[in-house]
Amino acid sequence: MNNRRNRLGRWKALGGAALTVAAGLAVRSQTDGAFAKYAGDALYTVMVCFLVALVAPRLRTIVVAGIALAFSWLVEFWQIVGIPPLLQPLLGATFNAPDLLWYFVGACLYWCLMARCGRA
């Protein structure tokens, strides 16, 4: 039963990640400026949350959100030191302090979404 529940949780996490990517692409194609940038930052962390849940479906939602937030912040601070050019299209190249807030918003958004869906 637990194995079946984990498989179902993984499928839901994969679907959530795909929907988040679609939402991010929609926001970027339909809006511009600061809204598009910061919505993209928040959705990036939501996607990382779903990917963490995909890898570890038994983790509590708050732990998933915390891991994703820590990862997002780590990547942002890594930009200060310099991300290798090969990874820059995926992880970015320029540190921007407001991004840290929007990553937090994304983690909170994931937590609220999961609480609403009864997972938290």
8 A C-beta contact, residue 104 and residue 118: no
CB-based burial, 18-27: b 16+ in 10 Å, e otherwise: eebeeebeeb
> By the 8 A CB rule, do 61 and 120 touch?
yes
Q: Is 45 exposed, middle or buried (0-12, 13-18, 19+ CB in 10 A)?
A: buried
Q: Average the pLDDT over 18-36 and give the result.
A: 95
pLDDT, average across residues 26-44: 95
Q: What is the pLDDT of residue 119?
A: 60
pLDDT digits (tens, 9 = 90+) for 75-117: 999 999 999 999 999 888 999 999 999 999 999 999 999 998 8
- At 81, list the tokens: 């030191």
pLDDT, residue 1, reads 56
Full-model pTM: 0.90
Instruction: Give residue 8's pLDDT.
Output: 79
- Does the structure show a pLDDT above 90 at 67? yes
Joined together, the tokens standing for residue 111 give 């937590």
Six-digit token string for 4: 């079946």
